[in-house]
């Protein structure tokens, strides 16, 4: 589960809902893709985060499975199961 903050700002004419995904330095599993990754919470780190705001360290290497997917995942108008099907190589669809 990812650490996320959510808030609703109540305006005079309209409410504005917003959220943010908390990030941290990437672990070994993710650093080749990006230098940041979401803060991941498990059953042991959830309560300390909710009670005290204590965020866990990045997960140990080898704990995150990753595989390349189509760059179409970046398009909001695309929404189908094929988006998460692994592709042979990371940069096939540039």
Identify whether 79 is part of a domain.
yes
pLDDT of residue 70: 80
- Global pTM reads 0.68
Instruction: Let me know whether 7 and 29 are in one domain.
Output: yes
Taken in order 27, 33, 39, 42, is the CA torsion positive or negative? negative
At 8, which helix (H) or strand (E)?
strand 4-10
CB atoms within 10 A of CB 65: 6
pLDDT of residue 88: 66
Say if residue 94's pLDDT is above 80. no
Residue 10 belongs to domain spanning: 1-56
Q: Render pLDDT for 35-79 as a digit per residue (tens, 0 to 9).
A: 999 999 999 999 999 899 898 988 899 888 877 788 888 898 999
Identify whether 83 is part of a domain.
yes
pLDDT of residue 11: 87
């Amino acid at each position: 589960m990812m650490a996320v903050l959510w808030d609703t700002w109540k305006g005079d004419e309209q409410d504005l809902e917003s959220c943010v995904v908390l990030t941290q330095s990437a672990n070994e599993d993710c650093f080749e893709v990006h230098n940041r990754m979401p803060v991941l919470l498990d059953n042991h780190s959830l309560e300390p985060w909710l009670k005290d705001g204590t965020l866990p360290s990045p997960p140990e290497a080898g704990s995150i499975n990753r595989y390349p997917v189509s760059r179409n995942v970046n398009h909001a108008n695309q929404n189908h199961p094929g988006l998460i099907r692994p592709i042979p190589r990371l940069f096939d669809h540039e």
